[in-house]
Chains A and B, each alone.
Chain A
């Protein structure tokens, strides 16, 4: 910031800072996807935000053009409004995701409890394979097992 400001005019250095910020955000998201810390479906919104900021930084007159078009006379306000909206969308998105995940977590726990109960109930039947599997000789028999024993999944 200080480093750039010393050489460039304030307006230009601000733009450079914005561009650097946007590039850093995009690079960070990219790296998170690459390391599989973030799924693409969640990364897209962040990337969209990064690219938007990048475009605004590169395209000099765009922000004031937009602000005039919407009738806001202080261009940075447009930025704040957009940023606020974006954060709002993100939060709603996360709330939905968290809700879905906790819902699925409940279902998983319930299924696990039912399975465990069945395992403890009929130990003789299930001591053989016990997860390590490996060979399919009884695949055909299992087909019948599952067909008969499995309860209705849903609805």
Chain B
């Protein structure tokens, strides 16, 4: 591996669960397209050789001893970013859906606006239609969440379930401390909003997943939709942090309680 730059301040977090076919390509693509990003693969209890392939491709690997789900896996990545002092973290799914070429589009947007804390790549802002196919149930779900989240945050959210998102240090600190357990993307938007952190979307194209299966089957989507709507609804009633609370523990819940999630 090339070791000319040893002080990358930016990190790509790649959650992967049994992505043995795609992980090496994904890591290689990130290293090629975004060489200023370190890569950490969070192996979420894979039963195949995902971790070995990722390490061989030059990524740091966090091996979770059992499957935590996407939320727990991503939070491990944010904890890693927090501990190592990274300034920017971007989530790039291990299955190849997220095109690393867009990493710098996200970065440009994030760094171009100092008030911005998170930039999400949206499939539905791409001109010329969808650019992405998914099951009807899931599309309805995304539509519903988009409406709800737009209403809550007061700005247009088109792709609330997109995991292709980049956060600054504030976002890393927040997510390392508190990140929703499963199907976390929608709730994370609410979390950002509740902490007065600003986020926006830019158009990206996503590719059909190379391998593996989606974390959510069609039958499960309904269950998840109900669950996430409940979480979002309850989340609205949680006490907000004061204004620009940087690192103080959140007033209502001590850290220990927060971590029970």
Interface residues of A (CB under 8 A from B): 30, 33-37, 39-41, 43-44, 47, 103-104, 107-108, 111, 131, 133-144, 146-147, 150, 152-155
Contacts and interface: CB of A to CB of B under 8 A. Distances in A.
B238 A34 contact: yes
Nearest to B230: A40
Interface string B97-131: 00000000000000000000000000000000000
Q: Secondary structure at chain B's binding surface: helix, strand, loop or mixed?
A: loop
Given A139-B6, A140-B38, 8 more contacts: A36-B258, A40-B227, A133-B85, A139-B7, A141-B3, A143-B39, A147-B61, A154-B45
Interface string B27-49: 00000000000110001011110
Contacts of B39: 143
A44 to B, nearest CB: 6
Contacts of B260: 36-37
Interface in B204-261: 226-228, 230-231, 234, 237-238, 252-253, 257-258, 260-261
Q: Secondary structure at chain A's binding surface: helix, strand, loop or mixed?
A: helix
Given A34-B237, A139-B84, A154-B46, A146 B8 contact: no
Contacts of A137: 6-7
- Most chain B CB neighbours (cut-off 10 Å) among A41, A104, A139: A139
B66 A104 contact: yes
